[in-house]
Chains A and B, each alone.
Chain A
Amino acid sequence: MKQLLLVALVALVPGTVCAQGPGATKLAGRIPPEAVPAIDSLIAAAVAESLPTEPLVQKALEGSAKGIPADRLVNGVRRGLVQLREARVLVGRALPGQPQPEGHVAAVAAALARGLPPAIAERMLTMATDEPPAPALHAAADLVAHRFNPDSAADLLVAAHAMGLHGERLLDVAVAADQELQRGGGRTPADALARVRAMLPNVPTPKVAVTPHGKTGS
């Protein structure tokens, strides 16, 4: 009997910690004490507004790991909360009357942080309302980061999606456009986009798991 009680006790301990919230568990003892009240307040605000909290928890952990002073750390987390709010407004506008999954909001916030114009993010959301938006948002953000015209880049991705390229395959479209541009020969971004558009839907899939840059996935 004693054994059973102890086993039950051991099994309950993690559950007790988790009951305080995953964010609290991850942050416990990891952020400067002077930043704790403000961070707690920001996370509580996110919870109250039904916004995802994980990006804020990660930002707090990141700042702490980097030794960022408490005031700047709090500002970084606050900035993250502002981005999530903006993202939620955008998701609500793109998908009116529909639920706003936390994953959608977090993905849009991440794309906006990478410099994707809000209007393009909205187009990516409306392009595929029944799919996770992250791949399309990343593909668009990739193209914009590589200085393609945002509207033209979005046009290409919408065309690719209409021709059956969904999800992660949209990242291949962005990679193909970048590779076309890298070929040189006086090729402009518009030329590169046109060439990729002409090859749709037969955009090559990366053949190897590791790209020349040493990263998987794109």
Chain B
Amino acid sequence: MTDRLDDAIELLKTTPAMSVESRVMAEVRRISGPTPRRRVFTWPRIATVGLALAAGLAAILLIPRTPDRLTPGESEGIAQFVGHFPGARSVEVVGSFNNWSRGLLHLRDENHDGIWHAAAVLPAGQHEYMFVVDGERWVTDPLAERFVDDGFGAGRENSVLIVRPAGQR
């Protein structure tokens, strides 16, 4: 036992002092191989980061912002969508403001009372839209103030929404 203590004391005298953190990190580096700096700039990593950034930018540009962050710019305005769809499982708004893409702007019915609503920041100007109920039923917004024939020959109408720029309110 005394011999082991003596060995330890000698070792401490000959080994430069290292913090526990330094020693742990040195061991981590030894096990994981290349240093973090070298690994960050490998080709696949750069491509992944680039794609992630592109996807993030696309999401910011294409997806209307959620009601939690409704801060319209000078050439934007806030649009609110409300519909009465008792028993519906899902309601979404699809229109010219989101390139008629599905799955980007969902209405919510937190109270389960059949009143579905959503808000979004949209570019100022005219937008045409319809509700899609339960993922398959296209419904003209009965509360809209403006309508226009959708031009496809079945007599179906789009709702028309005019968003005013927030800066002019």
The 5 closest A-B pairs by CB, nearest first: A10-B50, A214-B82, A65-B100, A217-B164, A61-B100
Minimum CB–CB distance for B97 against chain A, Å:
10
Whether B59 sits at the interface, judged by CB under 8 Å, is: no
Chain A nearest CB from B156 CB (Å) reads 8
Q: Encode contact with B along A182-218: 1 for CB under 8 Å, 0 otherwise.
A: 0000000000000000000000010001110111111
Point out the residues of chain B lying under 8 angstroms from A205, CB to CB.
Answer: 169
> Complex Cα distance A14/B153, Å?
36
Contact of A216 among B79, B99, B151 (CB under 8 A): B79
User: With the chains together, A61 CA to B138 CA distance in Å?
Assistant: 15
Which residues from chain A contact B161 at a C-beta distance below 8 Å? 215-217
> Per a CB cutoff under 8 Å, which of B50, B80, B160 touches A6?
B50
Across chains A and B, the number of contacting residue pairs, with CB separation under 8 Å, is: 121
Q: For the side of the interface on B, what is the size category? A: 35 or more
Interface residues, chain B, with chain A CB atoms under 8 Å away: 41, 43, 46-47, 50-51, 54, 77-82, 94, 96, 99-102, 117, 125-126, 128, 130, 138, 143-154, 156, 158, 160-165, 168-169
- Asked if B43 contacts A2 (CB within 8 A), the reply is yes
Q: Which residues of A contact B81 (CB under 8 A)?
A: 214-215
Contact at B164–A215, with CB atoms within 8 Å? no
**B152:A75 contact, CB within 8 angstroms:** yes
Beta-carbon contact of A134 and B126 below 8 Å = yes
Take A65-B101, A65-B102, A209-B169 as given contacts and tell me if A214 and B150 are in contact as well, using a CB distance cutoff of 8 Å: no
Inter-chain contacts of B143 with A (CB < 8 A): 213-215
Instruction: Report which residue of B50, B100, B154 has the largest number of chain A beta carbons within 10 angstroms of its beta carbon.
Output: B100
CA distance A66 to B168 in the complex (A): 34
Q: Which residues of A contact B101 (CB under 8 A)?
A: 61, 65
Known: A110-B126, A167-B168, A168-B168. A215 touches B50 (CB 8 A): no
Identify which of A64, A76, A80 contacts B100 (C-beta below 8 A): A64
Q: Which residue of A lies closest to B132 (CB)?
A: A65
Check B150–A76 contact: CB distance below 8 A: yes
Partner of A213, one of B145, B153, B164: B145
Q: How far is the CB of A193 from chain B (nearest CB, A)?
A: 18
Contacting residues, chain A, for B148 (C-beta < 8 A): 110, 113-114
**A138 at interface by CB-CB < 8 Å:** yes
Known: A215-B80, A217-B163. Is A145-B100 also a contact (CB below 8 A)?
A: no
Question: Could you say which residues of chain B place their CB within 8 Å of the CB of A167?
Answer: 168
> By the criterion CB–CB under 8 Å, are B150 and A145 in contact?
no
Inter-chain contacts of A214 with B (CB < 8 A): 80-82, 117, 143
Determine the distance from Cα of A10 to Cα of B52 in the docked complex, in whole angstroms: 11
| Closest chain A residue to B117, Cβ basis | A214
Q: How far is the CB of A105 from chain B (nearest CB, A)?
A: 14
